[in-house]
Homo-oligomer: A and B are copies of this chain.
């Protein structure tokens, strides 16, 4: 999500603001940096110097600082006193811990999703998401496949009906996106896709059957697999 979006020539004459229908300047900056981190325009460890970003994005310092502050709360960048912001680089331990969190949180989400499976529209949404994953698993390139993959997970969390949980999981997914990408690229020829797809399928079946216990278990197992596959990456992929 947060697709490339059409943000044309950024530095229009300041002064005029979009007619509120839409994101505040801070929101736009946050979204821009987020997607920038996602698609590698900002590399992990890279420093984000205020003056540069101000020029680049055509915004004032307050706005930028508020955006960076928010990104830091989300864990996507770190801010060191008097040294400024930089794109966060995760250590191996941190990745491990993030996956421990995803395990319990998305496990809860799967459980709740199973409990709410009879909410109108839920069945269709889940089936559609599963279909999309299976389709892109066969045909699409890696970036798209990963995207669809995350969307499937996100759908499950949305179906939990737990707004706070959705926020937390979104954060965690964003933070783990880069390493997840590298891991997926590295394991792609070892049949990982098929394995992952089959886990997704069993998960969907459990949820559709309303089997909360089973859904939670599958989700947790699945994330444990994903996590440990990521942890096999060489040291160069961590801080």
Q: Interface of A with B (CB < 8 Å)?
A: 10-13, 15, 19-20, 24, 62, 65-66, 69-70, 72-75, 78-82, 94, 97-98, 100-101, 104-105, 107-108, 112, 162-165, 168
Contact = CB atoms under 8 A, between A and B. Distances in A.
A162 B108 contact: no
A105 B108 CA distance: 10
Given A66-B66, A73-B70, A104-B107, A79 B162 contact: no
Contacts of A62: 62, 65
Given A65-B66, A82-B20, A101 B13 contact: no
Given A20-B81, A24-B81, A164 B101 contact: yes
A164 B94 contact: yes
Nearest to A104: B104
A126 B15 CA distance: 42
Contacts of A79: 12-13
A142 B164 CA distance: 29
Contacts of A80: 13, 15
B104 A73 contact: no
A31 to B, nearest CB: 15
A40 to B, nearest CB: 23
Contact of A162 (B11, B19, B97, B163): B97
Nearest to A103: B108
Contact of A69 (B19, B69, B75, B112): B69
Contacts of A10: 72-73, 75
Contact of A70 (B69, B97, B112): B69
B69 A12 contact: yes
Contacts of A70: 69-70, 73
Nearest to A13: B81
A13 B69 CA distance: 10
A82 B100 CA distance: 38
Nearest to A98: B164
